[in-house]
Copies of this chain bind each other. A is one copy, B any other.
Amino acid sequence: MATSSHAPLRSSDQAAWGRVLTLHSFVERELALALQRQHGIGLSEYRSLEHLHHSSTSELRMQDLADRVGLGQSSVTRLVGRLETAGFAFKDLCPSDKRGVYAVITDEGRQRYQAARATYAEVLSSALNSFTADPELGPTVQALRATQA
């Protein structure tokens, strides 16, 4: 097939994105399964706890949390609702802007997060490692690991 060499030809974008999709669906499924079975929490719950735990004030505005976990407003409303039911977080009204709501992590939430943390790291690394022998996906994993912000 012919490839142009001038302006960034991005027919390769589709191939590159296809590799991301394959990686993504496999790794996320592994992570979700492991977290659910070993710690009884979903991936979105885990990631919410992660962001809340690392927040300097132990809390995050709903929209802020939504942006960080890559979900919409309504999804986060219900996500924090689930965390609240589970005792991992609660909602707190913002005093300066009475429309605003803070999601606040509880001690129990921190404990669950810390317990799940090792599982997450291990499953992620092992899932990524499982591709290193793959002639197509191996280089992609390597490239991702090489990039650092």
Contact = CB atoms under 8 A, between A and B. Distances in A.
Interface of A: 4-5, 7-8, 10-17, 19-27, 50-51, 53-54, 67-68, 70, 120-121, 124-125, 128, 135-137, 139-140, 142-149
A7 B45 CA distance: 16
A33 to B, nearest CB: 12
B20 A124 contact: no
A16 B26 CA distance: 16
Given A24-B24, A148-B12, A17 B135 contact: no
A121 B8 CA distance: 13
Given A13-B124, A14-B121, A25-B70, A144 B20 contact: yes
